[in-house]
Chain A
Amino acid sequence: MRIPVSLHIPVRHPENSGSSPIDPYVQLVTPDGVRVPDPLYDRWVEDIDGARLQELYIDMAVIRRIDTEATALQRQGELGLWPPLLGQEAAQIGSVRSLRSSDFVFPSYRENGVAYCRGVAVGELMRTWRGNAGAGWDPYTVNVAPTQVIIGAQALHAAGYAMGITRDGTDDAVISYFGDGATSQGDVSEAMVFAASFNSPVVFFCSNNQWAISEPVTLQAQVPIANRAPGFGIPSIRVDGNDVLAVMAATREALDRARSGNGPTFIEAVTYRMGPHTTADDPTRYRDSAELERWRVKDPLSRLQALLDAMGLFTEEFAAESSRRADAVAAELREACLGMPDPGPADVFAHVYSEPNSWLDRQQEQYSRYLSGFAGEENR
């Protein structure tokens, strides 16, 4: 049967329950960069030595730099929109670096760091945000579904894909990313019902970044979000989402559960969206700057830097190498974005159906005839 839930507190907290720092969560590295032992989760990250920690740091530095560059490109009119991931690097890197390549990822729109680490080229990463394509990459080459903008819909896709894995009989797993706001959506609840009912190999990864656009999580969650999952029969865990090591331990445990036929897991990674919801948002209108400062000291990069420093691994050379790699990716991203060819009008018909469709063919034919009607007009 089910593994007992690791956190189940069915009692409503008196105040601030959704984001209160007093709610317990798994933490392996403190904000000051001190490694704290954990009897349950240490074993999941035993193999992560200094060199691996350095790699994780570089990963986070690179995706933070991608985020900065993409935000700048949006401000310069080169991207239509961008959803910043600043502050959520550990949640993305700790989880994606626990996956194997045959696992399948169903991201929201904010998991651009996850997509990058799965091998999506930076140019492909930008295509949707530049408005050049509905989806930027071939999902099957990287096993990452296209960017999902419908809140929470990807949880259903993940549950369905995981049911397919069971039928295929492989030990692959699925991970679905969504935010705290998405847990209020029916789709996420339905997905959990299905995953629990079919004992599917899926990990529901909730990046609780404290804000559903301008709505604080405390309004939507009267108990920690992780506490909802046991009601569906899904074991859940609350983890410090700014601690890359803790996120990795929790994700590995969940993936192991999925692969060994023990069904879904719900992970609530408690993190913080340090920037706006998207480039069209201004968080200073609804958010206290003191709150931002409280979270800034818990920054995922600075704590790993402190840990590496204590280990004598955050050398000047390493810092320079990390910046150099991040800057190189940023330059590559900018170049790919600016050099991206505009799509043709007929491109909207591509990838609508996986197989030929006469109805769509007819529409395309009519549309091209309509377009050719403008041939006489100049400069169109």
Chain B
Amino acid sequence: MLREFRLPDLGEGLTESEILNWHVSVGDTVELNQVIADVETAKAVVELPSPYAGIVARLHEQAGTVVEVGSPIVSFEVATPAGADADGSGTGGESAPAKREPNLVGYGAVPDAVGRPARRRRGAAAAADPVPVPVTAAAPAAVTGAVAVAAAAPAVSAAPAPVRERPRSTPPVRKLARDMGVDLTGVQGSGPGGLVVRADIVRAALPAADTASATAAPAAAGPQGCAGREERTPVSGMRKHTAAAMVASAFTAPHATVFLTVDITPTMELLKRLKQQPAFDGLKLSPLTLAAKAVCLALRRYPSLNSRWDEAAREIVRYNYVNLGIAAATPRGLMVPNIKDAQALSLHGLAAAVTALAQTARDGKTPQADLAGGTISISNVGVFGVDAGTPILNPGEAGILALGAVRRQPWEYEGEIALRSVMTLSLSFDHRLVDGEQGAGFLSDVGAVLADPLLALAMA
């Protein structure tokens, strides 16, 4: 039975550690708690005792590697205890899918990052190592060669300067140096007894980052000192969530998009008049407000736009209510909070809800409940100055309407050409649920209301 051992958080709240050396090789028989490796964290060098009695089946990481907490570092072949087959923990062989496992205490959060640990080269022996051959596709599934190569490259191109003893520094300073890409061996410490302090790292990193003062750059900055021509950011948080939602939506729901350009001058005039009304004081009134109302009205005639494809049950779920999502660009990224039971709200109610929703989202205080349970969405891309787009459905929804920018442009009006306020509407829908006829009919209804808000009375 193969048992995988993942690097635990050996201190308190550490994210990575460096394997200094292995005390065992593949094929060695080890006892429980036998020391198998020395590992250096930001806080300490510690001995790693074996968690199993068995045979070392594989060393996933070489000595000298900085490994993220939670990454597998060694696998053991362990005698299967009787009746232990069902035990799901740690049996991840190379082909095991990335299954979410219960978290061990010292591991911190289960790492979501898929990035491979970067290799840190140290000392003469490491520098003299041959460049690792790029890992081929035949390598274990989990290993991506690209990163290993990329990380190794600077070590090669770096002129092999005479290797010196790393000057003394504290763990936070070493962390800072690593973050800023400063090679400590070239840094002159200004602290007591030659101790490298934060200011030294900043000084060493600055000239490299600031090309204007490049001439003044001391050699200390080193080849790795430069910030580089590309930047890598771990995919996490909102970006990760958004990406997953978009992929899920784009590759499960077949999207179709229709466009309609309408003269919304009457809407603009109506909005101007409403703004005079004391009841609308402090509320944000824009074409979006009226579009929200128009969507609710148009859904009565085209309810298929307000439905969901339930793949598991092989059923179509049609909502008898409208939870209207409003896409909002927030400092943290895209969010689509929704207005619950929007079909029951008056124009005033919708204006108030949109105002509150947008404010809450911008403040980053949108509660989880506001983000769940949407049935159809509106995206106001016009505020960014564009006319149209092919919006991707909020996962699970059947329709999304994008509002383009309002432009004053020549338009046919009462048999003549006049300067009118014109907007393009884009509607994407899930073609499993909505046929072209319904999609087009829905969009032209929305357009009709915006072109002549009085129609709302007729449709209400």
Contact = CB atoms under 8 A, between A and B. Distances in A.
Partners in one complex: yes
Contact of A75 (B12, B48, B105): B48
A342 B48 contact: no
A280 interface: yes
A42 to B, nearest CB: 41
A379 B103 CA distance: 13
Nearest to A379: B100
A38 interface: no
B105 A276 contact: no
A72 B8 contact: no
B47 interface: yes
A210 B65 CA distance: 36
Nearest to B368: A373
Contacts of B10: 74-75, 279-280
Contacts of B369: 373
A72 B33 contact: yes
Nearest to B373: A376
A80 B14 CA distance: 11
Given A72-B33, A370-B368, A79 B47 contact: no
Nearest to B371: A373
Contacts of B186: none
A376 B369 CA distance: 11
Given A72-B33, A373-B368, A78 B104 contact: yes
Contacts of A344: none
B5 A76 contact: yes
Nearest to B46: A75
B105 A131 contact: yes
A75 B49 contact: yes
Interface in A77-94: 77-81
A282 B44 contact: yes
Contacts of A76: 5, 8, 48-49, 51
Interface string B103-119: 01111000000000000
Interface in A305-357: 342
A281 interface: yes
B9 interface: yes
A140 interface: no
Contacts of B104: 77-78
Interface residues of A, number: 27
A373 B7 CA distance: 33
B372 interface: yes
Contacts of B45: 282, 284
Interface in B1-27: 5-12
A74 B106 CA distance: 7
A70 B164 CA distance: 39
B193 interface: no
Interface in A34-76: 68-69, 72, 74-76
Nearest to A276: B44
Contacts of A374: 368
B43 interface: yes
A298 interface: no
Nearest to A330: B33
B102 interface: yes
A252 interface: no
A344 B102 CA distance: 13
A280 B106 contact: no
A78 B106 contact: yes
A238 interface: no
Contacts of A81: 12
A44 B43 CA distance: 44
A131 B103 CA distance: 12
A78 B44 CA distance: 18
A110 interface: no
B49 A77 contact: no
Interface string A352-380: 00000000000000000010011010010
A80 B102 CA distance: 15
A232 B367 CA distance: 55
B102 A342 contact: yes
Interface string B182-195: 00000000000000
A118 interface: no
A380 to B, nearest CB: 9
A303 interface: no
A273 interface: no
B271 to A, nearest CB: 36
A77 B9 contact: yes
Pick the most buried of A79, A80, A81: most chain B CB atoms within 10 A of its CB: A80
Contacts of B49: 72, 75-76
B105 A79 contact: yes
A79 B372 contact: no
B105 A280 contact: no
A279 B106 CA distance: 11
Contacts of B372: 373, 376
Contacts of A370: 368
A75 B8 contact: yes
Contacts of A228: none
Nearest to B104: A77
A126 to B, nearest CB: 10
A77 B43 contact: no
A276 B47 CA distance: 12
Contacts of B51: 76-78
A75 B43 CA distance: 14
Interface in A126-147: 130-132
| Nearest 8 pairs of A and B residues by beta carbon | A77-B8, A282-B44, A280-B11, A76-B51, A77-B106, A72-B49, A72-B33, A77-B104
Given A76-B5, A77-B8, 9 more contacts: A76-B8, A76-B49, A77-B7, A81-B12, A132-B105, A279-B11, A281-B43, A281-B44, A282-B45
17 contacts: A68-B33, A69-B33, A72-B33, A74-B10, A75-B47, A76-B49, A77-B51, A77-B106, A78-B105, A276-B44, A279-B10, A279-B11, A279-B46, A281-B43, A282-B44, A342-B102, A370-B368
Interface of A: 68-69, 72, 74-81, 130-132, 276, 279-282, 284-285, 342, 370, 373-374, 376, 379
